[in-house]
Amino acid sequence: GIGRWTVYLDSRPMSGRVGFYVATPLELEGGGAVVLVQRGWVPRNFVDRAALPAIQTPAGEVQIEGRIALAPARLYELPGAAAPLQQQGFAVIRQNLDLGAFAAETRLPLAGFTVLQTGPASEGLQRDWPQPAAGVDKHYGYAFQWIGLAALIIVQYVWFQYIAARRNAR
């Protein structure tokens, strides 16, 4: 099945610890379309860098709960860095994952988005994903910036139109 295309994305932190994000392609019901599911996070083995943690990948039809997401964020990658672990010519541990290149490599009809699996920890995976920043603090910062610029313009207008003009007139 397509579970053999499971990828471990290296150097991904969760709850202050370093490990892997685990991503597995999932064929949608009805066949044809395949979506990459970011299934969760597992800690890495610091003694043996290439040792993969034990996770369960259910066979057959599964139902997952999740939300649509972009591809996993790209981390800095040294040019020409080889994957630490390959199985049958397929890089299992990777630093980054480009969806287009992954689709070409696996020959799967991969969708241009991923699914971020949510819900409680299961199958040996944690799912304490960082929440998207939806706070208004950024907007307060922008408002303060614009009010500050407006106040600066008013102060400069008063200075150059009235105070500096009267000094020059004397």
Inform me whether the pLDDT recorded for 38 exceeds 90: yes
Walk across the sheet containing 7-14 and list its strands: 66-69, 110-117, 34-43, 17-27, 7-14, 93-94
DSSP string of 10-71, one letter each residue:
EEEEETTEEEEEEEEEEEPTTSS-EEEEEEEEEE--SS-TTPPPP-----S-----EEEE-S
pLDDT class for 29, splitting at 50, 70, 90? confident
Q: What pLDDT does residue 49 have?
A: 77
pLDDT class for 77, splitting at 50, 70, 90? confident
Q: Write the CA distances from 32 to 60, 68, 128, integer angstroms.
A: 16, 19, 31
Phi, psi of 34 (to 5 degrees): -130, 135
Mean pLDDT for all residues in the chain = 85
Instruction: Give the C-alpha separation, 39 to 33, whole Å.
Output: 18
Q: What pLDDT does residue 45 have?
A: 86
Instruction: Give the C-alpha separation, 64 to 25, whole Å.
Output: 13
